[in-house]
Amino acid sequence: MSTDIQIDEQKEAVRLYFSDETPWKTIYSEDGWNPFMARQRLRYVIRLMDQLQIRSKGAALDLGCGCGEYSRLLLDRGFKVTACDSSEDMVIEARKNAGYANGSFQAIVADAESLPFAAESFQLILCIGVLAYLRKDNEAIGEMFRVLAPGGHLILTVLNSVRLGRLPKLCAGKLLRGLKLIPPRTPTGASIQVQEYEMVRRSHIPRQLDATLRLSGFEKLTSLSLGYSPSLLIRKRPKTAQKLSATVDKAFQKLHLPFQDRFGRYYIVAVRRSASEQQACSPGQEQQATQGARGQG
């Protein structure tokens, strides 16, 4: 299958996946592991913004806004917010959730890989949990660089391929694959059937994402990682897993251990578009940098 067809199929699958029925519409008010992690991630994004003293300085973009939870956060902090998402249903939901601040908020349907905004339009971009649903990173990251003003901040989160909680599964997989009892890993990502389409959800290796961002012209400020419960515990004892995960996250943030920002379920990175211009990386360079971005498994 040609890459273009794969990308079109992926986009259609993502649009359907995040349509009316998606749990993402109400995720922040639900019970369960995924809603818990979504709320934790929101908490740590807020913490990161506070740590970097990112305060209202004009226009912010909530890229891949989903139900608009981050748009609300930005509005509450005084930003003039533009939210966009490739799913019309999510845009409608974001308008319901964040549209109370009429003059300061607009939400539109737009693709992260081809943003309908002028260069240097935003002082802050949040791109939370979106890269997983793209086939590759370079176009979207190039677009974020283009629409971010020099000196502006980008906060990006991805699902971490090398998260500790996956270790037992990875080891078991390696063993079973070594014994040829299960098929080899595909480099593309976890595959999810959405109606007649196959959607890939990718996870990333933090160090490789950092390299892609650097090659695209961004300067890294800080990063952190959260979500340290083993998958087994999450399935068998979800409440215990939540408590454990929250406790470990909290302790890690205090202890400042080396590499603690590398092995949680989510990797959160804050970068800045430096005032001095640099060229965005070519797809070839990006491929080198991100080789190994893997599926969720």
Residue 128 CB, nearest approach to ligand SAM (Å): 4
Does the footprint of ligand SAM cover residue 40 (CB under 6 A)?
no
Residue 101 CB, nearest approach to ligand SAM (Å): 18
Give the span between the Cα atoms of 130 and 91, in whole angstroms: 14
Residue 226 CB, nearest approach to ligand SAM (Å): 14
- Binding residue (CB under 6 A) for ligand SAM from 61, 81, 90, 144: 90
Q: Which is nearer to ligand SAM, 138 or 256 (CB)?
A: 138
- DSSP state letter for 279: P
- Binding residue (CB under 6 A) for ligand SAM from 18, 44, 218, 266: 18
Residue 175 CB, nearest approach to ligand SAM (Å): 31
Binding mask 205-244 for ligand SAM (x = CB under 6 A): ----------------------------------------
**For residue 175, which amino acid is it?**
L
Does the footprint of ligand SAM cover residue 24 (CB under 6 A)?
yes
Q: Which is nearer to ligand SAM, 13 or 213 (CB)?
A: 13
Residues 104 to 143 in contact with ligand SAM, rule: CB under 6 A: 111-113, 128-130, 133-134
Give the span between the Cα atoms of 119 and 61, in whole angstroms: 13
The CB-based long-range contact list for 168-176 (8 Å cut-off, 24+ gap) reads 168/230, 168/231, 168/232, 169/231, 169/297, 170/297, 173/297
Identify the CA nearest to 157 among candidates 53, 70, 254, 282: 70
**For residue 275, which amino acid is it?**
A
CA atoms within 13 A on the CB side of 117: 33
Q: What six digits make up the tokens of 120?
A: 């240097």
Give the span between the Cα atoms of 266 and 273, in whole angstroms: 22
Residue 41, number of CB atoms within 10 A of its CB: 20
Give the span between the Cα atoms of 238 and 186, in whole angstroms: 29
Does the footprint of ligand SAM cover residue 85 (CB under 6 A)?
yes
Q: Which is nearer to ligand SAM, 64 or 217 (CB)?
A: 64
Binding mask 55-74 for ligand SAM (x = CB under 6 A): ---------xxx--xx----
Shortest-Cβ-distance residue relative to ligand SAM: 66
Give the span between the Cα atoms of 297 and 288, in whole angstroms: 22
Residue 175, number of CB atoms within 10 A of its CB: 11
Residue 150 CB, nearest approach to ligand SAM (Å): 24
Identify the CA nearest to 242 among candidates 40, 70, 54, 104: 40
Residue 104 CB, nearest approach to ligand SAM (Å): 19
Give the span between the Cα atoms of 146 and 154, in whole angstroms: 12
Does the footprint of ligand SAM cover residue 263 (CB under 6 A)?
no
Residue 69 CB, nearest approach to ligand SAM (Å): 5
Residues that bind ligand SAM (CB under 6 A): 14, 18, 24, 64-66, 69-70, 85-87, 90, 111-113, 128-130, 133-134
